[in-house]
Amino acid sequence: MTERLTPDICVIGAGSGGLTVAAAAAAFGVSVVLIEKNRMGGDCLNYGCVPSKALIAAAKHVNAVAEAPVFGVNAGLPTIDFERVHDHIHEVIAAIEPNDSAARFRAMGVKVIEAEGRFMDRRRVVAGDYEISARRYVIAAGSSPLVPPIPGLDTVDYLTNETLFDLRAGPEHLVIIGGGPIGMEMAQAHRRLGAEVTVIEGGRALGKEDPELAAIVLDRMRTEGIAVQENVKVVEVAKSGSSQVTVTCERNEGGTFEVTGSTLLVATGRRPNVDGLGLENAGIRFDRSGIKVGPDLQTSNKRVMAIGDITGGLQFTHVAGYHAGIAIQKILFRLPAREDRTIIPRVTFTDPELAHVGLDEEAARRKHGDRISVLRWPYAENDRAHAERRTTGMIKVIADRKARILGASIVGAGAGEMINMWALAVYKGMNLGEMRSYVSPYPTMSEIGKRAAVAYYAPMARKRWVRSLVRFLRRFG
């Protein structure tokens, strides 16, 4: 028989956002039901951030061995045990898994239902043997790999991020359809782990990033032997022989060519998991791009909020966590809260890393015209970068006419760590004077940010009135 539950909050989806809402609500003594039909921890733990960064870490060690002779260290040619790489990835997942487990959340007082959840009407959800009537609902059902309708794709074996990390043998030639962050990260990691790699991208690879900084990453990729085909349309996929796949491509300017490889990875983005939730029964507006929400993440049903990937917005784990905070603020404390996408940082974990927060140069010019300052400082002017032989890259800071920081992009070693400070600066509305005035420890690569801020004020030293003031003040001893 169906058991009826009447919690204060019902959360659908146990990925990063859903788990954060459930844990926070339980901490305040609020009754919570958490529904998950697949694996606890969602995409990030099982198929996304965690396994991909574990793979990248293995690839970095290979590269470190290859680069060691320049430091006077000779370790010989590295050998790759790909099965051990596979085990490393899954050991990392297993180490983190208990934090997201059903047992842990039940111990917090959360009612965890491991079944598919579906709205029956505007007020009720059914999941397994339970019918839930909650005061408020939070949909955090995430997203899945987007597989485009390419002719022949259904006739060949292909990988997505949900199956890639199950490989126990390294690909001989990995062909990747999609040149976004996932495609480029996996391209470089597999190249360093011994595979031949070809990336096929319909537009510009890393197309959402500042072209000036993305070019630095792509140059490194090509130097490492990765074939990056840009502005190319995939027109057909077919089997080739007993174990290979051939991708037929068409250039935008005309002409076709073929790429034949041993393994195909489809990395063409993600689609929100809106199917099967009964959203139409609950009066929740949605389409293939996701659930429609306002800046406060409220859906068209006043009892329901949607957070994370399923909203069709920025698809990052930290965004889901940020959305969870907004949901808790609104549901528990009845305080107004709105999403601000300009404060959200992002990182592509290639080598060099590419990180960004706030407005890029193009967006800043659209909003402010020519009343902006664009400041750059290269890694090549940083002493620590020379010591580490990591001199490729730069920081690029955008400021308005009052020196308020609008955005920052960093390409280079440790960019993902360095962007944290700039994310805080954008969030707090700080100006370049504040970034110039703090004391940076020497020698650190983060100094490039301070140097960029100092560069904004350097022209002051050449102004006639400033020099006149200095001369005047010298008269007083």
Mean pLDDT of the chain: 96
Q: Is 17 annotated as a binding residue?
A: no
Question: What's residue 177's pLDDT?
Answer: 98
Per-residue pLDDT reduced to its tens digit, 34-75: 999 999 999 999 999 999 999 999 999 999 999 999 999 998
Per-residue pLDDT reduced to its tens digit, 264-299: 999 999 999 999 999 999 999 999 999 999 999 999
Q: Is 201 annotated as a binding residue?
A: yes
Check residues 13 and 477 and name the one with the higher pLDDT: 13
Structure tokens at 405: 């920081």
Split at pLDDT 50, 70, 90, the class of 462 is confident
CA distance linking residue 314 with residue 321, whole number of Å:
12
Q: Is 18 annotated as a binding residue?
A: no
Per-residue pLDDT reduced to its tens digit, 304-337: 999 999 999 999 999 999 999 999 999 999 999 9
Q: What angle do CA 99, 103, 107 make, to 5 degrees?
A: 95
461: pLDDT strictly greater than 80: no
Q: Domain 153-269 carries which CATH code?
A: 3.50.50.60
468: pLDDT strictly greater than 80: yes
Fold match between 3-40+101-145+271-339 and 153-269? yes
384: pLDDT strictly greater than 80: yes
> Token match 């491991």: residue?
114
Helical residues (DSSP H) of 159-310, grouped into ranges: 181-192, 211-223
The mean pLDDT of 354-380, rounded to a whole number, is: 97
Per-residue pLDDT reduced to its tens digit, 413-430: 999 999 999 999 999 999
CA distance linking residue 185 with residue 358, whole number of Å:
22
Question: What's residue 397's pLDDT?
Answer: 98
Q: Domain 343-459 carries which CATH code?
A: 3.30.390.30
Q: Is 182 annotated as a binding residue?
A: yes
Question: What's residue 469's pLDDT?
Answer: 80
Cβ-contact 356, 217 below 8 angstroms: no
Q: Is 181 annotated as a binding residue?
A: yes
**Quick one: fold of 3-40+101-145+271-339?**
FAD/NAD(P)-binding domain (3.50.50)
Largest CA distance in the chain: 94
Residue partners of 278: CB distance under 8 A and separation at least 6: 118, 119, 120, 125
Q: Is 211 annotated as a binding residue?
A: no
Question: What's residue 466's pLDDT?
Answer: 77
Task: Cis check for the bond before 352: say yes or no (omega within 30 of 0).
Answer: yes
Q: Is 239 annotated as a binding residue?
A: no
Q: Rounded to the nearest 5°, which phi and psi values hold at 422?
A: -75, -30
Question: What's residue 465's pLDDT?
Answer: 84
Cβ-contact 235, 249 below 8 angstroms: yes
CA-CA-CA-CA torsion sign (342, 329, 416, 177) = negative
Question: What's residue 463's pLDDT?
Answer: 80
Q: Is 254 annotated as a binding residue?
A: no
Q: What angle do CA 381, 385, 391 make, to 5 degrees?
A: 70
Structure tokens at 62: 């290979």
Q: Is 309 annotated as a binding residue?
A: yes
Amino acid (1-letter code) at residue 1 = M
Map residue 48 onto helix, strand or coil.
coil
pTM for this prediction: 0.95
Helical residues (DSSP H) of 47-96, grouped into ranges: 49-67, 82-96
Check residues 463 and 457 and name the one with the higher pLDDT: 457
Structure tokens at 279: 């959203």
Q: Where are the domains of the chain?
A: 3-40+101-145+271-339, 153-269, 343-459
Question: What's residue 185's pLDDT?
Answer: 98
CA distance linking residue 140 with residue 383, whole number of Å:
45
Q: Is 184 annotated as a binding residue?
A: yes
Per-residue pLDDT reduced to its tens digit, 194-203: 999 999 999 9
Per-residue pLDDT reduced to its tens digit, 141-177: 999 999 999 999 999 999 999 999 999 999 999 999 9
Question: Count of CB atoms within 10 A of residue 412's CB?
Answer: 27
Cβ-contact 340, 313 below 8 angstroms: no
Q: Is 178 annotated as a binding residue?
A: yes
Q: What angle do CA 383, 389, 390 make, to 5 degrees?
A: 85
